[in-house]
Chain A
Amino acid sequence: MSGLVKAELRKLFTTRLWWIMLLVMLLLAALRLGFLIAFAGVEQNGAALPARDSAQWAETAWSAGAAGGIFAMILGVVLVTSEYRYQTITGTFLATPRRNRVIVAKLVTGLLVGALFSLAVLVFQAVTVIPAVTLSGGEFSLSASRIPQISLGILMTLALYAVFGIGLGALVRNQIAGIIGAIVWAYVIENIFIGIPALQSVGKWLPGGAAQALLSIDLDVAGLGAPEWLPAWAGALVLIGYGLLFAAVATATTVRRDIT
């Protein structure tokens, strides 16, 4: 099994997509952090971001990396769909005819790569947020704030979003459809259900809502009232539940399908 995971990791790291995704993810995180640094303490529409020297600002800024879930999901999609796109799936199944083993290896690879991406974004946050807080005269403390919990939330979110991507990729098989599906899901559908207060009772049960629950940032940035997420532990369970669901989808759609 470890050989298969190693083979999957090699598939990813011998092509260029992974570092493009990593770069874009970090750029996006930089953009968010830049916004949070610039507008800290500024009042808008009656709501205000906390000031840079507050623990609340540090927590908000520290959660920026959770937005990287979409990139982990796209990598997950590509981990499956590129095999169909370039027909390397034939060689993969010739080397490992027990297909469920291939799927398990891909899922493990997705978790690992998602975790690696989260580590990258956490390091990036550390070198931007900590100076931003301390230079503003605040004190950055790991123990007094929810930073560890948020970090864990980001780790789980990115790792499991990669798994969602693998399930989606196995379901649609078409690379473009898979990537567009992931983007539409993460940026449009989830944002509608999470952003509109009336829909949040549904939205909190979606993967994006569950990921928010892990971060437990109940900040009223948009001035629409602070959303009510699930408790963090419930969010984790929901997210893992979706992970299992997508893993089951990936297996069910792959194991018996004719490869022609």
Chain B
Amino acid sequence: MAAIEIRNLMKSFGPVKAVDGVSFSVEAGSVTGYLGPNGAGKTTTLRCLLGLVTPDSGEALVNGERYVTLSRPTSEVGAVLEATSFHPGRTARNHLRILCTAAGLPDARADEALEQVGLADAAGKRVGGFSLGMRQRLALASALLGRPRVYIFDEPANGLDPAGIEWLRGFLRHLAHDQGAAVLVSSHVLAEVEQTVDDVVIIAKGRLVRQGSLAELTSDGADVVRVRAAETADLAPALEAAGGVVEQAGDGLLRVRGLDTEAVGRIALDRRIVLTEVAQERSGLHKVFLDLTEGR
């Protein structure tokens, strides 16, 4: 049984199909990146999964059950949805203690969770004075209270500084790889999660575009070299003679398979051709993602 299982999920808000037949699953011990441009339907999917939004059809299950029927949800699933969901006049500790009380957990878990996210010093301060980064950490702390085995994070990197993002990456990997939890993390910025995730699910306009392991998706297209030269007409035959498969991509750009950047450079040097650009093609994942975000 997958930790998270989404089957043919559909949800419309009026005429807008927010989620249009999405299916994927997340296994324990792995981090899955749920990627897509803003407005792609990521948040709606996660809210359906957490019982906050009722799907029109399809299923969204955690540990094989609908979230609303879980008997101890806080101990099975830790979720972070928005950075701003705190009463500004309440202290961080009180915010967490209220959640502990509602979930039947001991108050001591509040301070332990704050310690875990590095907020122990701010426990007694009102959340109104917190920076965005501190709020994100507090939200993460709320997800940790019940020591769950499934984590769902919606754009957790929003508002974090580079150091905070680095910390978050390590934290997510630790949860999945050291503690064996299933982690689903959404983002509209590929670079934020690229170094963290094992699997990737990409959606756009409510529909699934790609899914697979990060290795699969990034290797796809990675063997292409982009070349521009002052004398393209001379370069293309030379590359083909050396065993490369050359595609004229227009505007003087050549896309070459079968040769790496060094080989292309040496061939150009031998023929005394001036190169104006030579680079490894962006990975397939980047390309898919960029096409989606630029197409909007």
Contact = CB atoms under 8 A, between A and B. Distances in A.
Contacts of A15: 87, 89-90
A139 to B, nearest CB: 47
A197 to B, nearest CB: 45
Given A97-B67, A97-B68, A260-B47, A91 B99 contact: yes
A77 B186 CA distance: 34
Interface string B71-101: 0011001010110111111110010011101
Contacts of A4: 101-102
Contacts of A82: 87
Contacts of B94: 10, 14
Contacts of B86: 86, 88
Nearest to B104: A3
Given A3-B102, A91-B142, A10 B87 contact: no
A90 B51 CA distance: 10
A92 B67 CA distance: 14
Interface string A111-152: 000000000000000000000000000000000000000000
Interface in A186-222: none
A6 B103 CA distance: 11
Contacts of A92: 102
Contact of A258 (B52, B79, B81, B102): B52
Interface in A90-105: 90-98
Contacts of A86: 84-88
Contacts of B70: 97
Nearest to A86: B87
Nearest to B88: A86
Nearest to B127: A86
Given A7-B101, A98-B68, A260-B53, A90 B81 contact: yes
B50 interface: yes
B248 interface: no
Contacts of B91: 14
B57 interface: no
B54 interface: yes
B14 to A, nearest CB: 12
Contacts of B53: 258-260
Contacts of B97: 10
Interface string A1-34: 0011011001100111000000000000000000
Interface of A: 3-4, 6-7, 10-11, 14-16, 82, 86-88, 90-98, 256, 258-260
Given A4-B102, A14-B94, A90-B82, 5 more contacts: A10-B98, A14-B98, A97-B68, A258-B13, A259-B52
7 contacts: A14-B94, A86-B84, A87-B85, A88-B87, A94-B81, A258-B47, A260-B13
Interface of B: 13, 43-44, 47, 50-54, 67-68, 70, 73-74, 77, 79, 81-82, 84-91, 94, 97-99, 101-104, 142
